[in-house]
Amino acid sequence: MSKQKVVFITGATSGFGRATARRFADAGWALVLSGRRYERLEALKQELQGKVPVHIAALDVRDAEAVSAMVAAVPEAFRPITTLVNNAGLALAPEPAQKVALEDWHTMIDTNVKGLVNVTHALLPQLLETGAGASIVNLGSVAGQWPYPGSHVYGASKAFVKQFSYNLRCDLISTGVRVTDLAPGMAETEFTLVRTRGDQGASEKLYRGTHPLSAEDIAEQIFYIATLPPHININRLEIMPSRQAWAPFAVDRDPA
């Protein structure tokens, strides 16, 4: 067990996180899975523990003390961590910034920024112990590079993910620990349901008539990044569906 590779996944209860757990389990990696919804973690454990060892823990990444305690409580059999997948995150309030509650901005910052650094800081010692071949895969977004209406703090938080990943790379250059900002475009998960507070119609409208990425598409890229030869680091990987691209610049014009 000590030589078995171990992946630590935040936000493992749905979407990218759950698909990533399944992909790594198929390849024989041990799993440390966290998320806020314990019943979903338990169901995923029951599904996958016949293939690989699975450790689960309910966790809100915004709580730094809880993150430290959870990492400290990971059983010795699951140490050290080989790959960290910082997947926990969310978008809220797709309305224009001037119509958004400050609380929603704070929630995105606390989850997408503070949560990311809480988990990374807590797990760095184990990743450094693993050394060559260890990986940190941070889930960013095309919104961290390309602005669009309603992205306000969400896009800004994902720009933080990108720059934090780059800066971390600089600090870890001699350690063997790799860092990647993985930035998906349109992907059909629970993302829009969360963003619109359960508006199924809005979610269906976004994906209707096109072919978005799937959670499994992103999980496959995460697995690819984590299993590259130790001398290779992908700094940033931006992925869009072939039917998604950039729009022209918006121009505000006087009434005719």
Active site residues: 154
- Distance between CA atoms of residues 212 and 206, nearest Å: 9
User: Beta 135-139 vs 178-184: how paired, if at all?
Assistant: parallel
93 torsion bin: left (phi>0), alpha (psi -120 to 50), beta (else): left
Alpha carbon distances (Å) from 109 to 115, 116, 176, 183, 204: 8, 10, 29, 18, 27
Alpha carbon distances (Å) from 234 to 93, 119, 187, 205: 32, 21, 21, 34
Report CA 106 to chain centroid distance, whole Å.
18
